[in-house]
Amino acid sequence: MLNDAVVFSEIYIVCGRTDLRYGIDSLAGVLRSLGIENPATAGTLYLFCGRRSDRIKGLVWEGDGFLLLYKKLANGSFQWPHNASEVKSLTPKQFRWLMEGLTIEPRKAVKEVSFEYMS
């Protein structure tokens, strides 16, 4: 379920490290401390990563309460941006990259070229 982003309307990651001993109320409090007044938005997934990058927690509002998701990789780690405490929006493509163990911001991307340029 967590590898497929189509069930979520929006996906956000909380950059930096979060204490994964936190439960639902504490994680919602982290979101409020970062400026998200109402994290209870249906279909929105918030992802948190701790000191060890092989596990993440997700928080989703389902209309009648929060659902807490937890994923621990058997092998490998997530390429998590640990540089700052901010909330960053992800595209479905970036989410797929994150779940595949890739970085969400590629260092070098192939640029599109217009047809006129190739003539």
Instruction: Report, as ranges of residue numbers, the positions in the chain whose pLDDT lies below 50.
Output: none
Check: pTM over 0.85? Answer yes or no: no
Number of domains in the chain: 1
What whole-number distance in Å separates Cα of residue 49 and Cα of residue 110? 29
Max distance between CA atoms of the chain, in angstroms, equals 59
Full domain range(s) for residue 94 = 9-106
Q: What is the pLDDT of residue 7?
A: 78
**Is residue 118 in a domain?**
no
**Is residue 38 in a domain?**
yes
**Is residue 35 in a domain?**
yes
Q: What is the pLDDT of residue 3?
A: 62
Q: What is the pLDDT of residue 38?
A: 87
Q: Which of 52, 54, 62 is nearest to 24 (CA)?
A: 62
Q: What is the pLDDT of residue 44?
A: 92
**Is residue 37 in a domain?**
yes
